[in-house]
Every structure is written in structure tokens, then in C-alpha cells.
Amino acid sequence: MNRFLDKAAIIEEMYTEEKDNPWRLATVTRVEETKLILNVIPVWLTSLLIGACVAYGSTLYVKQAATMNLKISNSFRVPPASMLSLTAFGTIVSVPIYDRIIVPILRKVTGDVRGISILRRIGIGLTLLTVDMIVAAFVETKRLRMVGHEVLREGGTKHGSMSVMWMIPQYFILGIGNSFYLTGFQEYFYDQVPDSMRSLGMALYISGFGVGYLLSSFIITIVDHVTGKNGKSWIAKDINSSRLDKFYWLLAGLNVLNLFLFVLFAKRYTYKTVHSKATEIDASNGDGEETLP
């Protein structure tokens, strides 16, 4: 791909009279900027599934919490939607710990100003997201088992309910993951796009998670359609008759595949070369831009 793009900046004898035509000859600057944009596309694609999983954290997780025992004491019940604050808390706590404690240690070990590279930070976040889906699957399996058991209480027989405190780990892990992949992607799209296109980089960052939210609905529709053919959808209207545990295992598998593809892209990725001062010389028309002879 790079060789193909480089040809756009090479002056050929048969086109010397049309060297000022942008359709015949591009500057080195434009070619390099095009390379940078194309290089970030594969990484952008891996952010889509993250957006989908984050969306489930604010929808399906809350729906689960609403069916659980929300009592902390006899006089206080936890609002189901307030459990999302644990995700924010996990992010708020982990970011300063990472920046102030972990990064200085890693900086001495690796010699990297950031401690670890941007892509490695994102990779750790993807790993944590996979772990979060696995934890969510185990918690949901336990919840469904407790729903299936009847217990004797005053006023008759009722289904056992699981404490909402069991969901704390999956919310907290999701928050810690945010401190890695959300901040990692933000740094990546700001740093690795051309300096003149940083607004485009931020647009890619935001759009990746926006498309991910749309993808979350698409995944649910497909899973509901496929599993519903057997008469028992994994995502039914009644969450107690659903199989969200299997759905979370599916998401964990998709995240493993996504992480594998991300590692392949990361190994072949070349970071943008940063110059303290860039001076461009045009050998053909002196307009401040350089072309390859």
C-alpha cells in the first residue's frame, strides 16, 4: 500500500508537462497524510465492539440490577441505574493511579515517556473488557440459578433474589477498562493523525463509539432472531426467562477475536514520526511542498 501511494509523488517523464496537475502528481506531504489516515482505520474498526459493550453496560446491566435484591439496609434500596456510578468511580480512581504511580515505574523500565505505548494501553483495556464480559456471564448464571430456586418466606413461597452487590465487580472492571481504552483511543486519534487533521482524529474517536452503540442494537437483533427460532430467545422481554449469560459469553468470544485482530494490527503498525520543526521544500514550483524525483 505504501509503495502504491508513493507513486503519486514520483515525477514521471511522460507527465512532466502536467506536474502542476494534482490528479497527476501529489506532494510528499499529502501522500504521508493519506498514509496516516489509512493506518488508523483498522484500529478504528476495533473500537466499534468496545462501544457496543459499553452500551450494554448502561442497558442490560441496569436491567439485571432491577431484578435483584436492591436492599442495603431495611430503610435503603439502591436505585438500579445508580450502579453505573461504580463504572465512573472505577475510572476516576484508576486514571490517577495509572498516571501517577504506574507510569513513572514503567517509564524507568521501558524508557518510554508514556510508560507503555498507546496501542499497548488500548490492548490492556480490550483485555479488561473481555474479562468484564466473562465476569458478567458468571454473575448472570448465578442469578438465574437463584431465580430458579424457591424459598419459604412470610406470606408464602417466593423466588430467591440475589444481592445487587454481586454486580460490583463487573461495573468496576468496566470502569478500569475505560481508563485504558477510552483514554488510549483519545490519545491515539489525536496523536497519530496528521497535525492539520486533529479535528478529524477526534471525530474518528467519537464516531467509533457512536457506531458501536448502533452495532449493539444490531447484535441484539441478530441474536434474538437466531436464538428465537428455537422458541427461547436469549434476549426475551422477561429477563428471568432470557439467557443473558450465554449472550455475555458470546460477547466475550467476540472480544477475544477483536483483541486478536487488534494485536495483529498493532504489531504491523508504524507510529507517526514526530519532527520538532518541519520544513518542506518543493523542488518543482517552490510553493513550500516537496515531491520525489
User: What tens digit of pLDDT does each residue of 149-162 get?
Assistant: 654 344 444 445 78
- Does residue 253 lie within any of the structural domains? yes
- Does residue 37 lie within any of the structural domains? no
In this model, does residue 30 exceed pLDDT 80? no
In this model, does residue 2 exceed pLDDT 80? no
Helix (H) or strand (E) holding 248: helix 244-268
The answer to whether the beta carbons of residues 120 and 185 sit under 8 Å apart is no
Query: What's the rounded mean pLDDT across residues 242-254?
Result: 93
- Does residue 124 lie within any of the structural domains? yes
More reliable by pLDDT, 106 or 6 = 106
- Does residue 16 lie within any of the structural domains? no
Closest CA to 213 of 27, 26, 55: 55
- Does residue 15 lie within any of the structural domains? no
In this model, does residue 278 exceed pLDDT 50? no
Q: What is the Cα 101 distance to its own chain's centre?
A: 24
In this model, does residue 199 exceed pLDDT 60? yes
Is the pTM of the predicted complex or chain greater than 0.95? no
Q: What is the CATH number of the domain that holds 104?
A: 1.20.1250.20
pLDDT at residue 252, as a whole number: 95
pLDDT at residue 291, as a whole number: 39
The number of domains in the chain is 1
pLDDT at residue 70, as a whole number: 86
- Does residue 218 lie within any of the structural domains? yes
- Does residue 203 lie within any of the structural domains? yes
Q: Which domain holds residue 84?
A: 51-266
Contacts of 228 (CB under 8 A, 6+ apart): none
- Does residue 40 lie within any of the structural domains? no
Tell me the C-alpha distance between 78 and 65, whole Å.
9
More reliable by pLDDT, 204 or 3 = 204
Considering just the CA atoms, what is the radius of gyration of the chain in Å?
A: 25
pLDDT at residue 255, as a whole number: 95
